[in-house]
Amino acid sequence: MSKNKLIHKPLFNPEGDTEVRNRRLIGGNTTNLNDFNNMKYSFVSDWYRQAMNNFWIPEEINLSQDVKDYPKLDEAERKAYDKILSFLVFLDSIQTANLPCIGEYITANEINLCLNIQTFQECVHSQSYSYMLDTICSPEERNEILYQWKTDEHLLKRNEFIGNIYNSFQTNKDARTLLKVMMGNYILEGIYFYSGFMFFYNLARNGKMPGSAQEIRYINRDENTHLWLFRNMIRELREEEPELFDNEMIEELREMLMEGVRQEIAWGHYVIGNDISGLTPKMITDYIEYLGNLRWTSLGYEAIYKGKEKEPQDMAWVSNYSNANMVKTDFFEAKSTAYAKSTALVDDL
């Protein structure tokens, strides 16, 4: 296959290859049969089980304390809450719309199974924000928050970076652009959500908006599996198509990650700044650069930000909220639902 050629996945394809060892992430001859018995990508069975165990329903989380807290948030907290929610709605919406575009070119059916489940979960996330907004504020406030990117240039700029990467694949249907879209997903799942998540967790540790933080913890748990999926997809693609990962491409991917980190830090400073009790701009910078290192080294490359290789001590509380392994006893067992019965979360990122 030429270095950059990409073929559209066939649909009904009785002549497709059923031989597992011939299965390929891209450029394969798939039958599209949902075969759970013969899988090439061994992580998929664990991933599938985890994703199914993670099933949750936004309305099962009680927001009555949040209804009382929201009007009492100080101005900086309310502004940050609204803007971060607006950004998260955008991210989950564009994920929902874009994931099927990736799936059209993935010729390993078991990977498409995962992408479809991910798409479903992104829908649930978008709906959870609607539930939060409908519960805590008026319809006018809600609509203002949903479409803030139309009036806030910072928010628009943020959405443009990821939106343009995804858009480029609408016109350039080639392997290099697909890889960049996969990297865009990885950055979105692994870096972009985080200053938002940490803000909600910080509110919760200050005793405010506990229901919102719980919603976010469920979302965070799903996003961890999405990160796991795309990390593995990128690594598998590198095994199968090593010529795609030339020095120029690796440099481009690295630059994308660094731009994602820069944007996340600038955004964190803009929405959170120095006005939120419990968070400072330095904490945001340190944490996001640490995440940048974690994501890039998880792909097998050298750390980018020197001295930021370890989780900053003053941010250790974030994992108490975001790490499902640590919270399942006090958090997941504390709610009365039969769904969240997952055992240890496989999270080796």
Nearer to Zn ion by Cβ, of 223 and 289: the residue is: 223
Residues from 106 through 165 that contact Zn ion (CB under 5 A)? 122, 125
C-alpha closest to that of 153 among 280, 258, 267: 267
Nearer to Zn ion by Cβ, of 223 and 264: the residue is: 223
Select which of 70, 81, 105, 129 is catalytic: 129
Residue 173-212 contact track with Zn ion, rule CB under 5 A, x = bound: ----------------------------------------
Nearer to Zn ion by Cβ, of 6 and 182: the residue is: 182
Give me the helices (H) in the chain, please.
43-53, 64-69, 75-103, 109-136, 139-146, 153-171, 175-187, 194-205, 210-240, 247-271, 281-298, 316-322, 324-327
Question: In the annotation, is 41 catalytic?
Answer: no
CA distances to 119, 217, 218, 335, 342 from 339, in Å: 19, 15, 12, 10, 8
Contact 237, 164 (CB under 8 A): no
Contact 62, 142 (CB under 8 A): no
Stretch that binds Zn ion, among 44-52, 78-86, 219-227, 232-240 (CB under 5 A): 219-227
Quote the least distance from Cβ 195 to Zn ion, whole Å.
Answer: 15
Identify the residue among 66, 69, 82, 223 touching Zn ion (CB under 5 A): 223
Quote the least distance from Cβ 125 to Zn ion, whole Å.
Answer: 4
Taking the C-alpha atoms of residue 286 and residue 197, their distance in angstroms, rounded to an integer, is: 15
Stretch that binds Zn ion, among 32-40, 90-98, 245-253, 287-295 (CB under 5 A): 90-98
Please tell me whether residue 92 binds Zn ion under the rule CB under 5 A. yes
Taking the C-alpha atoms of residue 86 and residue 190, their distance in angstroms, rounded to an integer, is: 18
Residues from 41 through 60 that contact Zn ion (CB under 5 A)? none
Nearer to Zn ion by Cβ, of 114 and 249: the residue is: 114
Task: Find where tokens 């499902």 sit.
Answer: 324
Stretch that binds Zn ion, among 85-93, 234-242, 304-312, 332-340 (CB under 5 A): 85-93
Neighbour-count burial of 248, counting CB atoms closer than 10 A to its CB (0-12 exposed, 13-18 middle, 19+ buried): exposed
Quote the least distance from Cβ 75 to Zn ion, whole Å.
Answer: 28
Residues from 261 through 290 that contact Zn ion (CB under 5 A)? none
Taking the C-alpha atoms of residue 67 and residue 130, their distance in angstroms, rounded to an integer, is: 14
Nearer to Zn ion by Cβ, of 98 and 148: the residue is: 98
Taking the C-alpha atoms of residue 282 and residue 269, their distance in angstroms, rounded to an integer, is: 9
Stretch that binds Zn ion, among 145-153, 215-223, 281-289, 315-323 (CB under 5 A): 215-223
Q: Which two tokens stand for residue 143?
A: 């609509």
Nearer to Zn ion by Cβ, of 178 and 249: the residue is: 178
Quote the least distance from Cβ 158 to Zn ion, whole Å.
Answer: 16
So which residues are the catalytic ones? 129
Residues that bind Zn ion (CB under 5 A): 92, 122, 125, 223, 226
